[in-house]
Amino acid sequence: MSKEGPPLQFDMFTGEPVDNRTRKQKKQDKERGQPKQTEMFSQREIAQFGVNPHPLLPLSPNTKLLLIPEDPRTDEEIEADRQRAAQKQTYQMFTEPAPIDEENKPENPGSEITPDTTTLALVPRGVVAVVIYGYFAQI
């Protein structure tokens, strides 16, 4: 294929250039422009007559072939993966406290009462303990 493009003929009626090559010629030109892969082996080395392409392994009928999985990870990585899997399956008993936003933080921290986030208390028998909106009070 030349650098200026395929040979074009001018249409007699419109005067526009037209490519009149056959499909085979277009395909050959396209293939010529593509890079060609070099063969590693000659045809004589590839085609061997009289050779069985699928030879059988000489195994006795009692022999079993097993696939053994190999793990490329170290023992520490395996243990860390096991730990992560166990933590995913473990039910969390206590929720994590919500992080305090710096925007909603009061200017004067002493003036506002901070809520008690722990709501567990030991009270003597007969005393009723009530938790109201995070504050602990006795009645």
pLDDT tens digits along 49-84: 788 878 887 778 887 777 888 888 999 999 999 999
- Sole residue written with tokens 């008993």: 93
Confidence of residue 1 (pLDDT cuts 50, 70, 90): very low
Which residues, 6+ apart, have CB-to-CB distance to 117 below 8 Å?
A: 97, 134
Query: How many angstroms separate the Cα of 53 from the Cα of each of 41, 42, 43, 57?
Result: 17, 18, 16, 13
Q: What is residue 130's predicted lDDT score, i.e. its pLDDT?
A: 58
User: Is the full-model pTM beyond 0.75?
Assistant: no
Domain range list for the chain? 11-39
Q: Reduced to 3 states, what is the DSSP secondary structure of residue 13?
A: coil
